Amino acid sequence: MPATDLIETDICVIGAGSGGLSVAAAAAAFGVPTVLIERDKMGGDCLNVGCVPSKALIAAARTAHEMRHGASRFGIANVEPDVDFRAVMAHVKGVIASIAPHDGIPRYTAMGVNVIEGAGRFVDNKTVEVDGKRIRARRFVIATGSRPAVPPIPGLDGVPYLTNEILFDLTERPDHLLVLGGGPIGIEMAQAFHRLGSKVTVFEAQKAMGRADREMSQLALESLRAEGIDIREGAMVSSVSGEAGAITVTTGKGDEAQSVTGTHLLVATGRKLNTDSLDLEAGNVAFDRRTGIDVDGGLRSKTNKRVYAVGDVSGGPAFTHTAGYQAGLIMRPLLFRLPAKMNADIQPAVTYCDPPLAQIGMTEEDARQKHGKIDIRRFPLAENDRARAERKTEGHVKLVIAGGKIVGVHIFGDAADEMIGFWCLAIQKGMKPSDVTGYVPPYPTRGEIGKRAATDYYSAMARDPRIRKLIAFLRRFG
C-alpha cells in the first residue's frame, strides 16, 4: 500500500451529524489531529431532513393556525391564510441553507479537521478505509446516526411513500396525508400539514405518543383531535395498496377491516441504525442491529477499546441534544484520560406539537413502579398571569416527587419546550421542591408555573394542626 494512501491521526470520527461534529470541533480546538468522515451531507439528519426542517415547517404551520383562530382573542379579526405551499417549503430550505455553513466542510477544514467525503468501513481493529484511503487512529468515534425504518407491511413496497428524508422536498401540498406512526415525527408532521391545509389521518398500532406520561399525552392528543386531526390508536395496518395520488391503508382484518384512501403516505414508524456499511465485525466492534453498538457506561466499545459511539448508534436516547451531550462526555477520556459515565436519566424529550409536550425524568407510571409512594403536584397555565395575557392557557405542569426529591417533570402547554430547560437542571442536580421554592423567576413569565407547583407540595403544612399550634404559640412573643 503506497504511503500516501495511509493517514495516521489521533482521532477519527465517522459521521458528521450533531455528535460527530461536536467531537471533531472540540478535538481540533485542543490541537488534536482529527479526521472526520461523512458519506452524505454535513450536519447529518438533524440539519438536513430532521429537527431543523421540521421545526421550520411547524413554525409556518403555527402562523397559519394563528391567523385562522388566534387573532380574535385579541380583538383582531381572524382571516383564512392564503398558503403558498411551494413558498412554505422554500422557507424550510432557506432555514437549512442559513445554518449549513456552520456545519460545512470549509469551516471544519479551517479548524484543522481533515474532512473526507465517502463511506468509511473498518478493515481491522485500528484502521478504517474510505475511497481508497486508509485511516489509522488512536481512537475512533462512531456517530453514524439512523435512518427511517420501513415496516414489512404487505403492499407497502408497491406504492410511493414519503419518509422524513424526502418529505421536505414536496412542492405541492397533499390533499390527504396518511401517516403511519403516532410517535413524535408522525404527530408533529400530522399537525403541521393539517394546519397548512391537508386532511390528515394518523395510524398508530399501539398508543400514540406512547413514551410520554400517560396523563399528559392524553391532554396533547385531545388537543390535536380537537383541531380536526384523525388519530387512530390500536390501528394495526394490515396492508397498503393503490398508486400515486390514491393510496389506501387498511387496518384490521376480516369483518373488522377498515380502509382509508389518501393522496400521500408518510412512513414514520421508527428508526434503523446506520451500521450496515461499517463492517464492524472487521473492527472487532460488537453490536446489535436493533440496539446499537455494545458500549460500557462511558460509551466505549466493550470489544475494541479504541472505539467510542455517540448518538443513535450508542443505544441511548435518539435525540440530537443527547448526541451533543455524549460528545462532550467522551472528550474527557479522549483528551484528558478522565473517567466518564453516561446518564440517560437527565435527557429531556419534547414532542413539538402545538402546544408542545415536554418531559424530563420519570413518568408517573414509572415512578410508582420504582418508588411505590409518590407525590404528584400540578399547576395549570390558566392560573399564570403571562399565559392569561397571551391567551395561551391550555395545559399544566406536573411534578413527580419521590423520597422528597423531584424525579420527573412533565409540561403540556405553550412554551413547554422552553420551560423544561430549568427542570433539566433540577433533575440533574437532584433538587427538592424546597430548592425550587427559593427560585425567583421574573414576573410575569411562565417560569412561575413550576415554582407554584413546587410550593403546592408544602401546602399541607398550612393545614397541619401541629404547625398551626406552633405558630399560635410563637405569636405570644410578639
In a domain, 51, yes or no: no
Q: Is the pLDDT of residue 199 over 60?
A: yes
Res 86 pLDDT > 80:
yes
Question: Rounded to 5 degrees, what are φ and ψ at 406?
Answer: -80, 115
Once rounded to an integer, what is the mean pLDDT over residues 110-126? 98
Annotated binding site for FAD: 55, 120, 144-146, 312
Are 331 and 184 members of one domain?
no
Residue 200 within any structural domain of the chain: yes
User: Would you place residue 72 in the very low, low, confident or very high pLDDT band (cuts 50, 70, 90)?
Assistant: very high
Q: Is the pLDDT of residue 270 over 90?
A: yes
Three-state DSSP at 356 gives coil
Same domain, 30 and 144: yes
More confidently predicted of 113 and 465 = 113
Across 302-328, average pLDDT: 97
Tell me, yes or no, whether 478 lies in a domain. no
pLDDT digits (tens, 9 = 90+) for 398-432: 999 999 999 999 999 999 999 999 999 999 999 99
Q: Are 25 and 1 in contact (CB under 8 A)?
A: no
On whether residue 309 sits in a domain, the answer given is: yes
Boundaries of domain holding 426: 355-463
Q: What is the mean pLDDT of residues 427-441?
A: 95
**Residue 406 placed within a domain:** yes
What was the pLDDT predicted at 478? 74
Q: Give me the pLDDT at residue 4, please.
A: 52
Q: Which residues are annotated as a binding site?
A: 55, 120, 144-146, 181-188, 204, 270, 312
Q: Are 173 and 198 in contact (CB under 8 A)?
A: yes
Residue 388 placed within a domain: yes
Query: Given 269, 286, 320, which residue is the final one in a domain?
Result: 269
Give the separation between CA 307 and CA 273, rounded to whole angstroms. Answer: 17
Same domain, 322 and 334: yes
Task: Identify the band that residue 462 occupies on the pLDDT scale cut at 50, 70 and 90.
Answer: confident
pLDDT tens-place string over residues 353-408: 999 999 999 999 999 999 999 999 999 999 999 999 999 999 999 999 999 999 99
In this structure, the answer to whether residues 108 and 182 fall within a common structural domain is no
Whether 121 and 32 map to the same domain: the answer is yes
Whether residue 280 is contained in a domain is answered as: yes
Kindly report whether the global pTM for this prediction surpasses the value 0.85: yes
Reported as half-sphere exposure (CB side, CA atoms, 13 A), residue 268 has a value of: 27
Cβ–Cβ < 8 Å for 200, 233: no
Please report, in range form, the residues annotated as the binding site for NAD(+): 181-188, 204, 270
**What pLDDT is stored for residue 31 in this prediction?**
97
Contacts of 392 (CB under 8 A, 6+ apart): 355, 381, 413, 414, 415
Q: For the domain that residue 380 is a member of, what is the CATH number?
A: 3.30.390.30
Cis status of the peptide bond prior to 148, with omega within 30 of 0: no
Specify the range with the lowest mean pLDDT, choosing from 3-12, 127-136, 226-235, 265-274: 3-12
Whether residue 146 contacts residue 273, with contact meaning beta carbons closer than 8 Å, is answered with: yes
Q: pLDDT of 13-54, one tens digit each?
A: 999 999 999 999 999 999 999 999 999 999 999 999 999 999
Q: Which amino acid is at 33?
A: P
Neighbours of 18 (CB within 10 A): 29
Same domain, 251 and 365: no
Which of 269, 292, 312 terminates a domain? The answer is 269
CATH of the domain at 132: 3.50.50.60
Residue 246 lies in a domain: yes
Total structural domains within the chain: 3
Work out the mean pLDDT of the chain and round it to a whole number: 96
Beta strands in 81-171 (DSSP E): 114-117, 121-124, 127-130, 133-142, 146-148
